[in-house]
Amino acid sequence: MKPLFSRFRPSYITKLAYMLQASEYRVLDYLSWVERVHDFSKIGRRQQLIATKRTQLLLTLLWMITAALLGMLLVYVIVIFQLFSSDLRQSLSQSDMRSLLSASVIIITFYITTLPWAIAYIVVVPVFLGRVLLFKPYEWLVVAQAKRIVKNHPAMKIAIAGSFGKTTLKEILKTVLSEGKIVAATTANFNTLIGISRFVKTLTGKEDVLIFEFGEYRPGDVKQFCKLTRPDVGIITGVNEAHLSQFKSVQSTAQNIFTLAKYVKPSRLYINEENELARKLKPRGAQLYSRRGVGGWKVSQSVSDLRGTRFTAQQKSKRIAARSKLLGIHNIGPLILAIDLADKFKLGSGQIEKGIAATKPFEHRLQPYSKDRITILDDTYNGNPAGVTAGLEFVRQLKAKRVVYVTPGLVEMGEQNQAVHEAIGHQLAKVADVVMLIKNISTPHIEAGLKQANFKGKLLWFENPTECYESLELFTKSGDVVLLQNDWPEHYL
């Protein structure tokens, strides 16, 4: 009964507004979420509605819809009441009166019980109309303005596309190139078309380098990004099953991402050699980067541990002693790419080394903490299979007393969901001693993968992330390495 009554509390309205905001006002995502939720009292436990002008408008709209629907009910009740107390009653027989009364009760009961659903669905109409009639024209205007600014901006423009690793690469490039150039890069919330356009409007015109991270969500959006940003250099970090629910197939994802190749010269296109699919789709003349090197740069003496990642990069007579606080050998590819680009931008060896030394783990991306002699690697923003593999690869070579792995699994894997998570189970079986899984539609496949790989360690199940993280405190001990991966945004729970 509690889940049912959760739709009849005043907080239900705020939760609908929160769900719309968290879905970024994408109607289909919102409706899909509404259909999945049984108990609205569990919504908003991890994050709250962020107060903006838009959400205030939305809340007003939701309350107006609620008031209108209740008003209609009140009118109906009044009409029925008037009917029963009027002279018309005399003209009706007893059985007619009983039928009318029963019908009224049924209608009113049905109306009240479906009221919350009605509110949740009716609000979609003004939201959709708002997007089409207000937001889209506004977006077109902002994008058009941004295009003019970018066209006239003298800076070198670098575009980054891919299924994974974009943010890490963007931050590495920004940190390293900033040692000798004025660099501006899109931030976390600015990787949509409107977001990039707003970012462009903040530019001063004095920047030497602009770095754009493309957040691909829909087929065709990379084309839109390229038309806006007019990239001089393109980087493709890789293609995998991330966001498969939007693209339906990996091939479709690859097609979207490799649109970038049509907008830059091949010699200025860099592709991650360590990703098989991206490597196979490399256009002629494009460059491959990996932990072995890029262009004329060769990597040697590479080491990665909890202190960071170190290697030597050499190109003819040039030699760079790279010392980064980033964790994991998988970061050497992006780091050597940064070295190559910095060299092309005429930064000196000293500047490049200083820039590399300034790179450090980003929030929630293989970010290390230490507590009670336990090493915790917070990789909760990592949401793709390549990231899982990279994290496990790093942990395996640490030679910890015990490896504890915590995950709710990955989101948006579409039809590949089972295969991806079973593969994760196979990998975990070789690395983890304790696996803590949060119950949802994906994690049973991880369990299946563990069983298939004859996992000998301990498997623990939890109903929700809160219960899991509280129990983590009780299960861990000195010498453990804990890897936390893939925290789900609330609308996937």
Question: Which residues would be at the binding site for another protein (CB under 8 A)?
Answer: 369, 371-374, 376, 378, 401, 460, 469-471, 473-479, 484
Minimum CB separation of residue 374 from another protein in Å reads 8
Nearest to another protein of 211, 404 (CB atom): 404
Sign (positive or negative) of CA dihedral 391, 396, 399, 401: positive
Minimum CB separation of residue 475 from another protein in Å reads 5
Distance from the first to the final alpha carbon of the chain: 21
Nearest to another protein of 92, 398 (CB atom): 398
- Comparing CA positions, the residue from 285, 284, 342, 286 lying closest to residue 313 is 342
Nearest to another protein of 338, 374 (CB atom): 374
Nearest to another protein of 150, 404 (CB atom): 404
Minimum CB separation of residue 468 from another protein in Å reads 10
Nearest to another protein of 111, 475 (CB atom): 475
- Comparing CA positions, the residue from 394, 274, 294 lying closest to residue 336 is 294
Orientation of helix 193-201 relative to helix 221-229, angle to 10°:
10
**What residue type is assigned to position 414 of the chain?**
G
Q: Are 212 and 158 in contact (CB under 8 A)?
A: yes
Nearest to another protein of 453, 460 (CB atom): 460
Q: Are 233 and 340 in contact (CB under 8 A)?
A: no
Minimum CB separation of residue 363 from another protein in Å reads 10
Burial of 185 (0-12, 13-18, 19+ CB in 10 A): buried
Strand (E) or helix (H) holding 468: helix 465-475
Minimum CB separation of residue 201 from another protein in Å reads 33
Query: Rounded to an integer, what distance in angstroms lies between the CA atom of residue 392 and that of residue 234?
Result: 29
Nearest to another protein of 424, 436 (CB atom): 436
**What residue type is assigned to position 132 of the chain?**
V
Query: Rounded to an integer, what distance in angstroms lies between the CA atom of residue 422 and that of residue 242?
Result: 15
Per residue in 54-67, is it b (16+ CB within 10 Å) or e — as a string?
ebeebbebbeebbe
- Comparing CA positions, the residue from 351, 414, 297 lying closest to residue 178 is 351
Burial of 129 (0-12, 13-18, 19+ CB in 10 A): exposed
The residue written with tokens 């983890």 in the block is: 432
Nearest to another protein of 48, 60 (CB atom): 48
Nearest to another protein of 204, 478 (CB atom): 478
The residue written with tokens 């256009």 in the block is: 283
The residue written with tokens 């079986």 in the block is: 429
